[in-house]
Structure 1
Amino acid sequence: MTRNELAGTATLGLRANAAQFALLVAVNALVGGVVGQQQTVLPLLAADDFGLTGYTVIFTYIAAFGITKAASNYAAGILADRLGRKPVLLIGWLFAVPVPVMLILAPDWGWVVAANVLLGINQGLTWSTTVVMKIDLVGPDKRGLAMGLNEAAGYGAVAITSLLAGHLAATYGLRPAPFLLGAAYVALGLTLSALLVKETRGHAALEQHHRTPRLPSLRSGTTHSSRDIFALSTWREPALASASQAGLVNNLNFGLAWGLFPLLFATADLSLGQISLLFALYPGVWGVGQLATGALSDRYGRKRLITAGMGLQSAALAVIALAGTFPGWAVGTILLGAGTAMVYPTLLAAIGDVAEPAWRGRAVGIYRLWRDLGYAFGAVIGGIMADVAGLHAAVWAAAALSAAAALVVALRMYETHPTAR
């Protein structure tokens, strides 16, 4: 079938595509769960099973995950535009198959790092593709709501699985029980994607046919190179570039939290259950909050939520740096989750507002490239700062970067939602 023929069979809208959209939400929840299986457990596994003490060394697995996920996001965007969405989704799931087994059997830390390389490829290919497919299905009117539902499912699953994995680790030990969850998620995700998920490029072609381009210089998006799209998304186009830098800092915070928070909370002699709960609060509030914030951005616009969300993240990190008890850290992680919920689906919706359907996959992939490099930056900056100046100094550094990101959005980004200007 040609793309014109595919467009002829497509209908845009959330209601018209409710069944397929709901299936993709479920698939993305499984994608998030594969990450959640390890987030509470691996920092503790590094210290208890492998005797690692340097923060920079411990955070190597987060850096490996972030770099490979970022590169895979970029590849996913190009491949999704050229080959279709579903093939990329299936390839991504195949990369996840060995991950739980490698984590269970790992004789040394190198196996953990290698498993996170594969996990990064899996996350980049599968999550990017589900994002693009949902944007394809819903069309322009409910884009924020669609991204809120997508990200809520993914990060809600991260939170729930982190909590479950921590409970399993406390009950049955750090290995193998927590990672059996991930094995089940991979099997189910691959099966659903292969048998039930349908291609959505026809929906993108239909939107392209009826859409007036936002950027006059790219009226025929299919004729422009990936280099052009990279330049637009990185520095040339104010909204796209502002979204990319805000996304990078947002995930810098997540990468730092992933590796550092369990160790920081352990300094107060909290139990593994308390540590798991504190860590789960962050993605939990983040996940649930996106059910509201995505839809709010459709009504009130993208820029306000992004600016306020990055500012709230900065304040939340300051609370975490100042606190030293369970209640204080709980407040900080809840605020951090709320700030992230304001930002995460809204940034993706802003990319969808500006990018043409013909190069949407590449624009989303480039944005997610920069955003997920934040994992690596968070791991490196957090590890070095923690080794040199202590855990609290690393948190303060992230708070300062979040405040700077909010200022950049406030000064450079324009409102991208056409009805909210």
Structure 2
Amino acid sequence: MSVPKRRSGSLIILMINMFIAMVGMGLIIPILPKYVTEFGVTGQAMGFLVAAFGVTQFLFSPIAGELSDKYGRKLLIVSGMGLFMVSQLLFGVATEMWMLYLSRLLGGMSAALMTPPMMAYVADITTEEKRGKGLGLLMASMTLGVVIGPGIGGFLADYGIRVPFYCAAALAGISTIVSLLFLPESLSAEERARARSSMQKRDNLLRQLVASTKAPYFMLLVLVFALSFGLQNFEAIFGLYVDVKHGFTPKDISLMITLGALIGVICQAVLIERLLHRFGEKKVLLSMFILSGVSMIAMLFVSNYFLIFVVSMLFFVATSIVRPAINTLLSKMAGNEQGFVAGMNNAYMSLGNIIGPSIAGILFDVHIQIPYAFGAVILFISAAIFAVSGKKSSHSSSAQQAKHSQTS
């Protein structure tokens, strides 16, 4: 009887850790425009600041998974939470721009150290029948943290612009201690020793990326990149855009992003299965990519708070529905390469998270309107290429079927 209780307790600790980390990552969004004005930075610097997180997350994620196999899940999870605490505290006490960059780099590293071991931990403590439920609960805590993080940040900013970071650091510190004291290791000493003694080497990330370009599902990976690029392009300079153009406060920004993202998550949960069943993954992908591009264009022309909220909500709904549609189609095309495809999915998403905000910040300094126009163009081009490639593949499969029927 004690084993199920211990397992459920471990899952709760993991969910709390994930929630705290995602809240800490999200609360920066509405605060950043006001916060960085103290440092006199430009849109370019702000874009790079957002992208810095993705750089170390991209570089360290493959390493973290392997280290957790060799030295245990708990060590990586506790180290990741501790590093996250340091990153949030550093952001709060920063007096120089390099301190903000260092904080974001450490934050990305902490996310890389935590997330793969947490998912592996759930796989360790659940049966195949219960694994989907366990991972679903972990992802739910991630989504909840992402959605309400900006709202918490905007609320706490009323007590001081640096207060949200101190609160996030304090929560991360408590979570680190709780994990250290009460989270048991899920891998046995024998399994860890076996992993350390294994001489098998995995292909490096660059070789994996090159291999993915030759796969039949490569176009879907391009869409993963385009989606992440568009989403980060939209979010990275959203606060700065509405602050400069419309004079919105951190609370205005946090309310808009939180409600928009929450509605997007609800629509994803309620509509995605019905949409995929009725229209299929390809039609849903195309329509939602077009809707997200149209929303970015519309953002350039709306001026009052309500209309900006409606447009941003439409964007969040479209992008929320696109991701599971891509993942479903990728899973169907992956065959026996599920692990490789999952890794490439994460790699292309990380690249979009790095490049999207970087380019948005650079273009913002050229002209305030250009980032959203450019992001919309990327989404439209991606949708067009996908539509053309889909027609070609359907024509080739029809030709092969006709040829097969003639020979038979």
Scaled by the length of structure 2, the TM-score of the pair is 0.76
CA contact (8 A) 2:44 2:358 kept: yes
Counterparts of 1:11-410 in structure 2, within 5 Å, are: 24-47=14-37, 49-52=38-41, 54-80=42-68, 85-131=73-119, 137=126, 139=128, 150-169=138-157, 171-175=158-162, 177-191=163-177, 193-194=179-180, 195-196=182-183, 199=186, 225-227=202-204, 230-231=208-209, 234-239=212-217, 241-266=218-243, 267-292=245-270, 303-348=282-327, 360=339, 363-388=341-366, 390-410=367-387
Larger helix percent: 2
CA contact (8 A) 2:29 2:239 kept: no
CA contact (8 A) 1:251 1:371 kept: yes
CA contact (8 A) 2:47 2:362 kept: no
Alpha-carbon offset, residue 120 of structure 1: 0.8
CA contact (8 A) 1:92 1:126 kept: yes
CA contact (8 A) 1:64 1:113 kept: yes
Change (3 A) 1:353 1:22: farther
Alpha-carbon offset, residue 132 of structure 1: 5.3
Task: Give the distance between the partners of 1:412 and 1:140, measured in 2 at CA.
Answer: 37
Change (3 A) 1:224 1:295: farther
CA contact (8 A) 1:45 1:174 kept: yes
Change (3 A) 1:264 1:140: farther
Alpha-carbon offset, residue 35 of structure 1: 0.2
Q: Note the residue ranges of structure 1 that are not aligned, 5 or more in a row.
A: 1-9, 12-16, 202-221, 416-421
CA contact (8 A) 2:76 2:113 kept: yes
CA contact (8 A) 1:310 1:402 kept: yes
Partner SS state of residue 40, structure 2 = coil
Task: Give the distance between the partners of 1:367 and 1:102, measured in 2 at CA.
Answer: 31
Change (3 A) 1:132 1:399: farther
Change (3 A) 1:391 1:117: same
Alpha-carbon offset, residue 273 of structure 1: 2.0
Alpha-carbon offset, residue 130 of structure 1: 3.7
Task: Give the distance between the partners of 1:346 and 1:153, measured in 2 at CA.
Answer: 21
Change (3 A) 1:46 1:295: same
Task: Give the distance between the partners of 2:337 and 2:134, measured in 1 at CA.
Answer: 19
Indicate the structure (1 or 2) with the bigger Cα radius of gyration: 2
Alpha-carbon offset, residue 330 of structure 1: 0.4
Superposed CA offset, 1:5-64 (max 9, x none)? xxxxx99xxxxx8776665444322221120231211222111x1122x21122221121
* Percentage of identical aligned residues: 19
Change (3 A) 1:365 1:74: farther
Superposed CA offset, 1:80-106 (max 9, x none)? 566565544333223212112111210
Paired residues, number: 373
CA contact (8 A) 1:262 1:275 kept: yes
Change (3 A) 1:351 1:91: farther
Task: Give the distance between the partners of 1:376 and 1:95, measured in 2 at CA.
Answer: 20
Larger displacement relative to structure 2 (363-372 or 331-340): 363-372
Task: Give the distance between the partners of 1:399 and 1:351, measured in 2 at CA.
Answer: 24
CA contact (8 A) 1:314 1:402 kept: yes
Larger displacement relative to structure 2 (288-297 or 267-276): 288-297
Partner SS state of residue 236, structure 1 = coil
Larger displacement relative to structure 2 (189-198 or 392-401): 189-198
Q: Note the residue ranges of structure 2 that are not aligned, 5 or more in a row.
A: 189-198, 395-408
Task: Give the distance between the partners of 2:149 and 2:296, measured in 1 at CA.
Answer: 23
Task: Give the aligned CA root-mean-square deviation in angstroms.
Answer: 3.9
Task: Give the distance between the partners of 1:19 and 1:395, measured in 2 at CA.
Answer: 44
CA contact (8 A) 2:234 2:296 kept: no
Task: Give the distance between the partners of 1:295 and 1:65, measured in 2 at CA.
Answer: 32
Alpha-carbon offset, residue 114 of structure 1: 0.5
Supply the AA of the counterpart residue of 1:251.
S
